[in-house]
Structure 1
Amino acid sequence: MPIAEDPEPRPRRGDEPDGSDPSGTGEKDPFADLVLDEEFIRSATVKEQSGRTRMLSARWKHTPPVDPGGRRSVNDGARPKRRFGRGPKPPAVDAWGAPHPRRREWRAPLFVTLTVVLVLAALNLGGLRDWYEDHYGRGSSSPSGAAVPTVAPETARPTAAPPATPADQPTVDHPWKGSPAEGWPTSLESFELPPAKAVGVFSAEEVAAQLQSVKAYLTAANLDPGVIAGARPEAALAMLDSQERASAVAALDHPGKGTDPTSWFARFDPREAALVGGAVKVQGRIGFEEDGDRGVLVHTDFTFVYPLQPGPDAEKLASSRRGTPDTAPGGTARPVGLTAPASGNTGSTWTTRTIIRKVDDFRFHDPQRYKVEAKKLVFAKTQWDAGNSACDVYDGFLHPRFEQFPAHGPAPTGPTSDPYDRSKDLAPTGQCGIVSRT
């Protein structure tokens, strides 16, 4: 293709025909009618490279360029399609043959999983809160949605009963609904021992050991899951003085009105009632003083709240109870097999609670003046009261009433009382009373 290298017009010599023959031969200039329009330029088969392109080509013959990464050029071809949630997969090698490092695609699956979890939690906030309440209890919410305050173990006698709570029906999933004990300490958390000091003939270290032995007995007698399920309280029996142990064994073997083992140990017939979740709410205090005879008196005052679900024979046993002692002939305790609670109980199954308050004094005699068994417990005084347990049944077990079953047996005749009220002394009347709430 002809290229006009001189932009200036050629000089005229006067002998060009029509002024178009630069050679003077009289022939017409072949470029006279040439028009450099857009169509002419696009149809050109040879295109001159720019000066920068020629310069870079000469440089790259000796020093190839280095890929900075993350950039695309016109020579990379069409942009690859994006995969769902991730960027385009990088090629195995770059434009100069160097291998690309492979990135591990872990972030996108993680983000997708977290998103799904957050969406599910948002759709079921109530269920998530209920799960936390049932497993951890403290810091939960009441049925009305208000936060239940956490109640610390007592350091002194309270001045009033706990405030009223909504009378909501407790269930397997929500065993503490309607109970002021919902914010109470759970199990051993309530047994806070006071600082030990020397009392009477005992040193501070000996008093501390005595407090620990009382705590261990309260745990074995009232919080052991096996004992609650009706098993024989062997660990608690082993901690008692020989005379005390003999009395407790007699009550277990021959329960009756005057020898009721439930005044010693918290026991339920597993065919009738089973503990829900394994947690027991406890509130109370421990103190000690000199007994006036160079010994030590340890005072304990605790309320235990047991959430219970029906056992496999709960309705049948309730209907068969007619107010007579449920014992075998001769006053021997009825044998109980190792039957498990009904496995079909669901989260909506109605439950109930039995509340037991025990006020005990444990005496540690001066071993120089009295014949004592080392590290064994002796009761100086004991009082107890059970709320929501069948009246006049002395078979060695507590018998809670479930609202879903018809009431059977003798009706309570004693005064109405609040089993959660710890501001008053425990004064048993000898009558089976009515509880204002469970």
Structure 2
Amino acid sequence: MSDKPSEDSSSSPDAPDDIWAQFARANEKDAPKEPSARARMVTERLRQQEARGDAPEGWRTGPPVLERRRGRAVWKILGVLLAIAVAVVALKPSLIPGDPFGSGDPGSGSPLPDETAAPTAPPATGAPATPTLDDPFAGSPAKRWADGRAGILAPKAEAVGGRSKAEVAEALRMTRELLIDANLDPATLRGGRPEKALAVLDPKQPDVLSGLTAGLSEPTEKHDPLAMFTRFDPDEVRTVGDVVKTRGRITFEAGRGRAVAVHADYTFVYPVVRTDGSTEVTRIIVRRVLDLELSDPATYDVTPGKLTVVRYDRDAGNSACDVHDGWFHPRFPSESGPSAPPSGPTSDPYDRSKDIRRDQDCGTVTRV
């Protein structure tokens, strides 16, 4: 019998065997059916030639022209996707992390990652920008900070100093509650009584709790509620929008006598406007440093489940000096505050790389 079928046995035009084999393979996926008699004969003959070592090169791999066409199609798709990406970034460069185009604006770019350690330098200073009602954090490094309570984050609790993981978690929860209610709650900012913050403090520490309570009722230089709480006179100013920017960290370690020692260091940035109808916006920057302890009732005379205050310091940038009426009084560029101009040392209120100032509110700030 001849190796090739007769002309009567197939209506297909005569073609080289290796081309028939390539055609059969190329259509195998699209037409999953039994191959024709000619295709089976050609394939079997090519397998026999391969066994003898004289089969046509590339008969198993398919025609290279198909691969080239497929490669060109892939590059076309990649080109379209790249063009789309370039167009999106051109419309909104802030999608790229950081400041890749060198704008120098510390408020541009994506939100900053959480602060996990003390910074080594102050935030970069960019081009000046005037805050407005629509953009109250314009020109401020705080524009990239977290919004409100989203920035008040407690670390993961673990057992320490003989106290259980649950006890440490409770100490961290109360510290966060104190920071939020004292500095972010809208009622507190308008002069309301911060009940949640007061509730976590140990009543057996009268020099702290009773002093704060007295200051809320009748503020004096000795009993100043601003030492722990942020408050603005609602007849004088109001905050712009609902966002207060926050940045800082909470840490903990073993304290003396089976105590959990908690350290909190946070800066809050408040945009404010006068209530007389003016649209001039300014900012006040308040930094607070707290050292708290959840002490062991078996060792000390403390109330179980309450925080003992070891340290509470604050520094207010851009607030009036020597006013002890229980309110922060932000300075506006167009007017002098209700007290004498600042005469203390110059400082950057956004600089969290240094310890808090002890002279507090009467210095000159380099930016707001």
Normalised to the residue count of structure 2, the TM-score between the two structures is: 0.68
Write the letter of the residue equivalent to 1:227.
T
Contact 1:297 1:364 in 2 (8 A): yes
Matched, 1:423 2:340: no
2:321 — aligned with what? 391
Q: Residue in 1 aligned with 2:46?
A: none
Distance 2:105 2:348 in 1: 22
SS at match of 2:143: helix
Tell me, what secondary structure is at the counterpart of 1:151? coil
Q: Whose radius of gyration is greater, 1 or 2?
A: 1
8 Å CA contact 1:169–1:350 kept in 2: the answer is: no
Q: Report the aligned-residue RMSD.
A: 2.5
CA contact (8 A) 2:151 2:248 kept: yes
2:184 equivalent to 1:254:
no
Q: Does 1:201 align with 2:165?
A: no
Shift of 1:161: 0.4
Quick one: structure 1 residues 277 and 215, their matched pair in 2 at CA, closer, same or farther if it must change by over 3 Å? same
Paired residue for 2:264? Answer: 300
Tell whether the 8 Å contact from 2:320 to 2:337 is kept in structure 1 after alignment: no
Contact kept in structure 2, 1:229 and 1:275, CA below 8 Å: no
Name the aligned partner's letter for residue 171 of structure 1: T
Q: Which runs of 5+ in 1 are unaligned?
A: 1-127, 130-138, 313-341
Identical pairs, percent: 44
Deviation readout 1:228-281 (Å, 9 max, x if unpaired):
112222222222211232121012222122221111100000111111111110
- The residue matched to 1:252 in structure 2 has which SS? helix
Which residue among 94, 102, 121 is the counterpart of 1:160?
Answer: 121
Conserved? CA contact 1:361–1:379, under 8 Å = yes
Does structure 1 residue 379 correspond to structure 2 residue 309? Answer: yes
CA separation of 1:274 and 1:431: change in aligned 2, threshold 3 A = closer
SS for the counterpart of 2:173 is helix
The equivalent of 1:233 in structure 2 is 194
Q: 1:431 to 1:193 in 2, by over 3 A?
A: closer
Distance across 2 between alignment mates of 1:431 and 1:170: 22
Q: CA deviation at 1:282?
A: 0.5
Residue of 292, 303, 311 corresponding to 2:275: 311
- Indicate if the aligned counterparts of 1:148 and 1:182 stay in contact, CA closer than 8 A: no
After superposition, the Cα gap between the structure-2 partners of 1:203 and 1:273, relative to the gap in structure 1 and judged at 3 Å, is same
Quick one: distance in 1 between partners of 2:220 and 2:328?
13
Counterparts of 1:38-437 in structure 2, within 5 Å, are 147-242=108-203, 243=206, 244-312=208-276, 342=277, 349-429=279-359, 432-437=362-367
CA distance in structure 2 between the partners assigned to 1:431 and 1:233 by the alignment: 23
Verify the 8 A CA contact 1:143 1:168 in the aligned structure 2. Answer: no
Q: State the alpha-carbon separation in 2 of the partners of residues 274 and 417 from structure 1.
A: 25
2:263 aligns to what SS in structure 1? strand
Does the CA contact (< 8 Å) of 1:201 and 1:366 recur in 2? no
Q: 1:293: Cα distance to partner?
A: 1.9
- 8 Å CA contact 1:213, 1:375 repeated in 2: no
CA contact (8 A) 2:317 2:361 kept: no
Q: Compute the displacement of 1:431 (Å).
A: 6.6
Extract structure 1 runs of 4+ deviating beyond 6 A. 141-146
Contact 2:316 2:360 in 1 (8 A): no
Q: Once the 2 structures are TM-superposed, how far is the Cα of residue 168 of structure 1 from its aligned partner?
A: 1.4
Task: Determine the C-alpha separation between the residues in 2 that align with 1:277 and 1:388.
Answer: 19
Quick check: 1:287–1:298 contact (8 Å CA) kept in 2?
yes
**Displacement, 1:407?**
4.8
- Whole-angstrom CA distance in 1 between matches of 2:107 and 2:355: 31
Q: How many residues align?
A: 269
CA distance in 1, matches of 2:198, 2:354: 30
Residue aligning to 2:37: none
Residues 145-199 of structure 1 show CA distances to partners (whole Å, capped at 9, x for unaligned) of: 9843311221000111000022211111110111110000111121222121111
How many Å separate the matches in 2 of 1:205 and 1:431? 38
- Alignment partners' CA distance in 2, 1:382 and 1:146: 29
**Any conservation in 2 of the 1:365–1:372 contact (CA below 8 Å)?**
yes
Distance 1:352 1:257 in 2: 25
Counterpart CA distance in 1 for 2:201 and 2:139 is 37
